Structure 1
Amino acid sequence: MATTSITSALGAGSGVDIKELVASLVDAQFANKTKQLTAKSDALTKQISGVSTLKSGISGFAGALAALAKGGTLATAPTSSNSGILKVSGLSGAKLAGLSASVEVRQLAAPQVATSPAIADPIASVGLGSFTLTFGKATVTDGAMTGFTAGAAAPITIPITAGNSGLSGIARSINAANAGVTATVLTDANGSRLSIKSATGEAKAFTLTANEDPAAPGLSSLNIGPGATGTTIGSVAKDAIVAVDGVALQRPSNSISDLIPGVKLDLVSAAIGTTVTLGTSAPTAALSQAVNDFVETFNQLGAAIKEQTDPVTGLLKSDSATATLARSMRQLTLTPLLTDAPNGVPATLAEIGVQTNRDGTLSVNAARLTEALTKWPDTVEAMFADGSGASGKGLSAALTSISNTAIDTKVGLGASTARYTKAQADLADDQSDLADAEDVMTKRLTQQYGAMDARVAAYKSTLTFLQQQVDAWNSSK
């Protein structure tokens, strides 16, 4: 088609369309090279996209499984026979098989709460100076502190300045000290009161003693401690008292993690004489669901890998990192997840019913999985336990290892991304060079054919003149 266009144009003499002629010649010269570079650029873009898809797929898969393992839903959980008295939860990494205990909550831990008399104006100055806050153990009778033994911690001084000498300002100063108590101002029809609250535990009782500025007295009306007449102790600092299997123990908090190995106790209410029985609940349904979810996600990622590595159409069929990922995923069901499993006890996914089909996909043998969950519940649970610690065991640890290798920037898909990105940058340079060459050729041909057009026009002008002379001579005869 380009040849026909050039031929017809050359037959037009000085009427040649030089722009179209040059464009046709340049296109004919560079068409194949341009097509090759464009095709290569498109392939690199798709390769980068494919690598990104696989990186996202494997890292997302590993991350989701790790989060599930850490979440605790796949681990044997402690149970309480009366959650209205005592709630229980398992600590991370705890092995609770065989847990059995009885707990009696005899007393809840409580903070000390002291409240001042009502004052009409919470902003009006009470006095200037400072307070000394001291922690220890107290004896309280009918809202009055009758005895106090200071603890080992050093007393804390809280300055009260002119800008913070009202109840509201004093509360701000106490809170700003971060001394272990919280101050609030409570207001009703009778006025405003300063309320100060400690953490729970009998050793968190406290006294507050004013060091008054003689020129502006009044802070002593807020004193807390033996002999203080203005404030009232509304809540006495107490330890929790819990009897575990009949043995009474004290703790300063209602959230206790060091009485029963692997179990956190949250005390809800005291019930002297009522025993709460602790046991365990196996996560059979959750583990079964986890196995099926794993297989489904594995197959989704496997489909993406298969598409990218197809021997005919796969853009990553020659990518070594993708091949390594595909091989690691194929071997996963046969990888021992429990290195210390006794003979006859399943240690791989294949041995609990995760089977590999002829096309490389996975499926679940429901009967075999049920058998494994019935005979070896602790083993299956261990396979899905959080393996991020020193042991490095379990499915999550195995998949995380595959993911880390796959996305590695030196030998994994990260390196592939860098390689394809560099190739794309080099290709962009080639395309730029080609564009420059096209521009040079366009200018050269335009000049050549422009000169030719000028000469043809001159020849035609001379021919026209001669024809006129001949016509004139013929006419004169």
Structure 2
Amino acid sequence: MVDSIAKTLGAGSGIDIGSLVTSLVEAQYSVKSKQFENRAETLTSQISTVASLKSAMSGFSTALAGLVSGGSLATQVSSSNTGVVKATLIAGASVAGLNARIEVRSLTSGQSMATNAATPAGAHIGSGQIKVQFGSYAADENGIDTFIADATDLPAIDIAQTDGTLAGIAAKINGTAGLGLVASVVTDGTGERLVVKGPNGADKAFTLTATDDPADPGLAARINAATGTDGMARGSAAADARVAVDGIEFRRTSNTIQNLVPGVKLELQSVAPGTIVTLGTTAPTTALQQAVNDVIETFNELQKMVKAATDPATGPLARDPAAAELQRMLRNLTTTNLTGATDGSPASLASIGVVTNRDGSLSVDAGKLAKVLVANPAAVEKMFANGGTGASGKGLGAALAAISVRTTDRTYGLGASEARYSRAQTLLSDEQSRLADQQASTKTRLTQQFASMDSRVAAYRSTQAFLTQQVDAWNSGN
């Protein structure tokens, strides 16, 4: 209705009433509209800046936590002979003062069994049932190994006639849960052989006992312990790893051991009776030096963001208390006691050569840092250790995590600011919608008023034209 009226406005008066109405409405609401636009831009900038600061702070904390958990900043374990045993630090462990002597007397292995006689490829050998029993071998008085079964009750393996080839039997063994056996078929120039390998460890020796299906015999002759040229025979024996630590022998079922030397993972590489491998430690001086520089670089990037955000003249968060709190916490980071030490040893970033510049950024006194790393590397290492949670005394990672938690807090931190700005943005959007409705209503009202005026002007002009014609007619009659 309004649009159709607007198209005809001015027809009677000759005035561009459409433009006039638009100008009048804009003049009436322009100040308020501009205020809303400016406020919307401010809120958008505030929300975006808050999100950026939260992300940057969380990223800083997470990156350092990842670096610490990786173990590269902790004292490393060294082995005098990595060809016999490799030694590495278990993440999060401390090996200060480590000095151990390792002798590898044997490696762990699993028992293997194989069929004696070869079978033509794909040949059917029979069906029935195979029973597996785990245990260990012990030599009797004559030196003959005797199998001693344990009490474990294992599921039987049913071999149907359709499974009665070596490949079918291997598939059934591998597909039976709870056994831990690995079966395969090996082919050589004489045919196929079934090979079965058990788990590592002396107590994981095993036997296979087959019973025939009377209607399809032959399975037992191939599987049961060898008699003559038939059946299966043991290859390698099940054995434990035997490792002497400082002269005391221990047995393990894996060649990777994490519970012999505290904080150290041992990887046994080869058997070397009589060869003593010495374990020691190496301070991560280079890694710590690089870590300090990386922390300073990241800190400066974050500090630059915070400084811009809180700039009194141009910062979108100039009057935000949470942003000011973040700035204060970052400023105090260099003097925070990160180790809890009270004996005068280096405990803060400032004490190892981290300097706060006049603009709030940090720099490193490389000479002082180098001296501290030589004189007391353990103190610097402790600063980067994962000591738990807390703003002080638990390491730099914990201090940054505490700042990050405070920053993202939805009650007092930037999380609360973000929620507050978002609510304000929603309210502003509602006010803008109401203002738009008012503008539309005002435009409709003015358009209708001017349409009525234009109609009257048109009527007056029509009357004027009629009267003019009459006067002209009267004058011409004279």
Determine if the TM-score, normalized by the shorter chain, exceeds 0.5.
Answer: yes
Q: Which residue identity is paired with 2:167?
A: S
Contact 1:325 1:406 in 2 (8 A): yes
Secondary structure class of the residue paired with 2:344:
coil
CA drift of 1:275 comes to: 2.0
Per-residue CA deviations over 1:126-167 (Å, capped at 9, x if unaligned) read 443332221111369xxxx95311124333323334554443
Per-residue CA deviations over 1:439-460 (Å, capped at 9, x if unaligned) read 1111111111111111111111
Q: Structure 2: which 5+ runs fail to align?
A: 1-8
Q: C-alpha distance in 2, partners of 1:47/1:280?
A: 50
- Cα 1:170/1:343, change in 2 over 3 Å: same
Aligned to 1:37: 36
**In the alignment, does 2:7 pair up with 1:20?**
no
CA drift of 1:213 comes to: 2.8
Aligned to 2:79: 80
Q: C-alpha distance in 1, partners of 2:165/2:187?
A: 14
Q: Which residue identity is paired with 1:437?
A: Q
Secondary structure class of the residue paired with 2:13:
helix
Aligned to 1:191: 191
- Cα 1:189/1:410, change in 2 over 3 Å: farther
Aligned to 2:346: 346
Q: C-alpha distance in 2, partners of 1:213/1:25?
A: 103
CA drift of 1:204 comes to: 1.1
- Cα 1:181/1:314, change in 2 over 3 Å: same
Q: C-alpha distance in 2, partners of 1:21/1:243?
A: 100
Secondary structure class of the residue paired with 2:330:
helix
Aligned to 1:363: 363
Residue range with higher mean Cα deviation, 155-164 or 256-265: 155-164
**In the alignment, does 2:446 pair up with 1:445?**
yes
Contact 1:133 1:155 in 2 (8 A): yes
CA drift of 1:227 comes to: 5.8
Contact 1:115 1:231 in 2 (8 A): yes
Aligned to 1:48: 47
Secondary structure class of the residue paired with 1:178:
coil
Contact 1:148 1:226 in 2 (8 A): no
Q: C-alpha distance in 2, partners of 1:224/1:398?
A: 65
Residue range with higher mean Cα deviation, 457-466 or 221-230: 221-230
**In the alignment, does 2:422 pair up with 1:417?**
no
Q: C-alpha distance in 1, partners of 2:193/2:452?
A: 103
Across the aligned residues of Structure 1 and Structure 2, the Cα RMSD in angstroms comes to 2.3
Per-residue CA deviations over 1:43-102 (Å, capped at 9, x if unaligned) read 111111101110110100000101111101001111111111111111233222221222
Counterparts of 1:462-477 in structure 2 under 5 Å?
Answer: 462-477=463-478
CA drift of 1:401 comes to: 1.1
Q: Which residue identity is paired with 1:65?
A: L
Q: C-alpha distance in 2, partners of 1:98/1:440?
A: 83
Contact 1:78 1:281 in 2 (8 A): yes
Counterparts of 1:144-223 in structure 2 under 5 Å?
Answer: 147-161=146-160, 164-176=163-175, 177-223=177-223
- Cα 1:111/1:377, change in 2 over 3 Å: same
Q: C-alpha distance in 2, partners of 1:449/1:393?
A: 77
Aligned to 1:94: 93
Counterparts of 1:238-257 in structure 2 under 5 Å?
Answer: 238-257=239-258
Q: C-alpha distance in 1, partners of 2:265/2:401?
A: 29
Q: Which residue identity is paired with 2:209?
A: T
Secondary structure class of the residue paired with 2:451:
helix
Aligned length: 462
- Cα 1:188/1:436, change in 2 over 3 Å: farther
Counterparts of 1:264-279 in structure 2 under 5 Å?
Answer: 264-279=265-280
Aligned to 1:64: 63
- Cα 1:166/1:226, change in 2 over 3 Å: closer
Q: C-alpha distance in 1, partners of 2:126/2:76?
A: 56
- Cα 1:95/1:138, change in 2 over 3 Å: same
Contact 2:12 2:455 in 1 (8 A): no
Per-residue CA deviations over 1:348-397 (Å, capped at 9, x if unaligned) read 11111112112111111112211211121111111101223799711111
Q: Which residue identity is paired with 1:27?
A: E
CA drift of 1:325 comes to: 1.3
Q: C-alpha distance in 1, partners of 2:388/2:129?
A: 51
Aligned to 1:4: none
CA drift of 1:17 comes to: 2.2
- Cα 1:251/1:37, change in 2 over 3 Å: same
Q: C-alpha distance in 2, partners of 1:389/1:112?
A: 48
- TM-score by length of structure 2 reads 0.91
CA drift of 1:466 comes to: 1.0
Contact 1:114 1:224 in 2 (8 A): no
Contact 1:103 1:275 in 2 (8 A): yes
- Cα 1:20/1:157, change in 2 over 3 Å: same
Aligned to 2:387: 387
- Cα 1:26/1:275, change in 2 over 3 Å: same
CA drift of 1:222 comes to: 4.6
Secondary structure class of the residue paired with 2:194:
strand
Secondary structure class of the residue paired with 1:372:
helix
Following TM superposition, the consecutive aligned residue runs of length 4 or more in structure 1 with deviations greater than 6 angstroms are 389-392
Q: C-alpha distance in 1, partners of 2:193/2:35?
A: 84
Aligned to 2:6: none
- Cα 1:165/1:23, change in 2 over 3 Å: farther
Residue range with higher mean Cα deviation, 164-173 or 129-138: 164-173
Q: C-alpha distance in 2, partners of 1:438/1:132?
A: 89
Q: Which residue identity is paired with 2:231?
A: G
Aligned to 1:5: none
Per-residue CA deviations over 1:228-272 (Å, capped at 9, x if unaligned) read 942232322111122222333221110111221211110011122
- Cα 1:230/1:27, change in 2 over 3 Å: same
Q: C-alpha distance in 2, partners of 1:467/1:446?
A: 31
Secondary structure class of the residue paired with 2:307:
helix
Q: C-alpha distance in 2, partners of 1:396/1:54?
A: 18
Q: C-alpha distance in 1, partners of 2:303/2:383?
A: 21
Q: Structure 1: which 5+ runs fail to align?
A: 1-8
Q: Which residue identity is paired with 1:257?
A: Q
Secondary structure class of the residue paired with 1:460:
helix
Q: C-alpha distance in 2, partners of 1:149/1:408?
A: 63
Residue range with higher mean Cα deviation, 148-157 or 200-209: 148-157
Q: C-alpha distance in 2, partners of 1:59/1:429?
A: 33
Contact 1:239 1:250 in 2 (8 A): yes
Residue range with higher mean Cα deviation, 180-189 or 217-226: 217-226
Secondary structure class of the residue paired with 1:453:
helix
